[in-house]
Amino acid sequence: MQATTRAASAAPRDPGAGFQRRVLTVLALGQVLGGLGTGATLALGALLLTEVSGNSALSGLASTMNTLGAAVVAIPLARLAQRRGRRVSLTTGAFVAIAGAAVIVVAAALGAFPLLLVGMGLLGAGTALNLQSRFAATDVAAPRTRARDLSLVVWSTTVGAVVGPNLFGPGEAIGTALGLPRFTGGFVIALCAQALGAVVYSVGLRPDPLAVALARNGTAAGRPRPTDGLSLLRTVPAARRAVLTVGLSHAVMVAVMSMTPVHLTTHGATLSAVGLTISLHVAGMYALSPVFGWLADAIGRTGTVLLGQALFAAALALTWLGAEHQHMVLVALILLGLGWSASTVAGSTMVTESVAAHDRPGLQGTSDLVMNLCGAAGGALAGPVLALVGFSGLGVAALLLVLVSTTTTLRAR
């Protein structure tokens, strides 16, 4: 049996010192295109499910299926990266997302609700693709700039997150011109954006950055096959701690963020106020990620994770003490986004650095799987917790997860 990945055995000629800059440019452009598709369909999924089913109670299944789809696709894409390299893996993820958007449009035209859910799940590959892109940025990065390079790809998501939701109107105009059902035009935009992204990855990632990284690290035929990501979690404490940090941080963010619109509208906030709060939260998640990448390189990964957990703690303290005050909730959501950014950038870098180069894609895929499952669990459990103990109680419950992450990080330190 072949003992190494095909990407490694290809042993490409080293493209030189400027290669990483080109890789980052390609990944950032692909991330912008993927973000445009995600942003254009973020709210449309819930509206389309309501339109097709006639039951608004089922609208939440859009985000649930998207998250589960991203979780399911994470490990297959990582294994594909191990076998064939980042270029093939990222391009394949884009094609799966394209298929998801197409299935959604067809399902809406047929009024087929189960098929619509399948399409939402397939579209989740776009989320998995965006997550894997940040790890691809670390393949040939120098250790002293690895966190910064990862954070630059994360930051490029900001463009899609901001511009994407504003494509709702143009999407509807496109859908009407094509004679498509209501709320499906945005998915046409997502399809086109992912198609362009596939071209960018296929053309731009030559030679493949993972193959170059493995060649630089001396990975050659005859070496052991990469270890499975779940096995690495069992046997490598540093990998386990890093994945736990990323997963719990995502759960905290999703749990509080997903319930904030419900809490604010229940207490009389206008839709404009809710929209502003969520927009500033998203800005906190992505806009300052290069700053946290620089900090992770300057003061260390562990210190930046602890800073992120401190920002989480401050945000949750505000939700506990100021749940009845809209301006305090606004500040809390900004801090929540900043805490997620610091913890995710530094934690993802720790995931990458916890194992050898040939094992990294497998562990990275497992990390994305855990991250998505934690986010889904956080969102699912947040509703009952909110109903039981209110928004303040939700903040206290989330604080327990922050305590676990902080304790784990301090023990490692």
Residues 302-337: pLDDT tens digits?
999 999 999 999 999 999 888 788 889 999 999 999
189 lies in the same domain as 258 = no
Per-residue pLDDT, 311: 97
Helices 237-266 & 301-321 angle (0-180, nearest 10) = 20
Per-residue pLDDT, 219: 58
302 lies in the same domain as 233 = yes
The phi, psi pair for 402, rounded to 5°, reads: -60, -40
> How far is the C-alpha of 91 from the C-alpha of 346, rounded, in Å?
26
* CATH number of the domain residue 387 falls in: 1.20.1250.20
> How far is the C-alpha of 258 from the C-alpha of 269, rounded, in Å?
16
pLDDT tens string 245-289: 999 999 999 989 888 887 888 888 776 787 788 878 888 898 899
Q: What is the DSSP letter of 58?
A: G
Q: What is the DSSP letter of 225?
A: P
As a whole number, the mean pLDDT across the chain is: 88
Residue 223 lies inside a defined structural domain of this protein: no
Region 39-62 average pLDDT = 77
Residue 224 lies inside a defined structural domain of this protein: no
Which residues, at least 6 apart from 243, have a Cβ–Cβ distance to it below 8 Å? 233, 351, 363, 366, 367, 370
Asked if residue 413 has pLDDT above 80, the reply is no
Region 70-83 average pLDDT = 92
Tell me what percent of the residues of the chain surpass a pLDDT of 90: 57
Per-residue pLDDT, 287: 87
Per-residue b/e over 299-315, b at no fewer than 16 CB within 10 Å? Answer: eebbbbbbbbbebbbeb
Q: Do 184 and 108 form a contact (C-beta atoms < 8 A)? A: yes
Region 230-242 average pLDDT = 93
Q: 189, 216, 243: which is the final residue of a domain? A: 216
19 lies in the same domain as 126 = yes
Q: Which burial class, exposed, middle or buried, applies to 76 when counting CB atoms under 10 A from its CB (0-12, 13-18, 19+)?
A: middle
Q: Answer with the residue of higher pLDDT: 216 or 194.
A: 194
Per-residue pLDDT, 57: 67
> How far is the C-alpha of 383 from the C-alpha of 360, rounded, in Å?
35
188 lies in the same domain as 260 = no
> How far is the C-alpha of 137 from the C-alpha of 154, rounded, in Å?
10
Residue 221 lies inside a defined structural domain of this protein: no
> How far is the C-alpha of 200 from the C-alpha of 29, rounded, in Å?
8
Lowest-confidence range among 24-38, 111-125, 136-150, 208-222?
208-222
Residue 222 lies inside a defined structural domain of this protein: no
Lowest-confidence range among 40-49, 95-104, 168-177, 365-374?
40-49
278 lies in the same domain as 394 = yes
- Total tally of structural domains belonging to the chain: 2
Region 197-221 average pLDDT = 86
Residue 171 lies inside a defined structural domain of this protein: yes
Lowest-confidence range among 94-108, 276-290, 335-349, 361-375?
276-290
Which two tokens mark 301?
């990964």
> How far is the C-alpha of 204 from the C-alpha of 19, rounded, in Å?
11
Query: Shortest CA distance to 85 belongs to which of 200, 199, 195, 213?
Result: 213
Tell me what percent of the residues of the chain surpass a pLDDT of 70: 92
Region 117-124 average pLDDT = 93
SS3 of 132-198: the string is HHHHHCCCCCCHHHHHHHHHHHHHCHHHHHHHHHHHHHHHHHHHHHCCCCCCCHHHHHHHHHHHHHH
Domain that holds residue 85: 6-216
pLDDT band at residue 367 using 50, 70 and 90 as cut-offs: very high
Q: Which of 58-67, 115-124, 155-164 has the highest mean pLDDT?
A: 115-124
Per-residue pLDDT, 345: 96
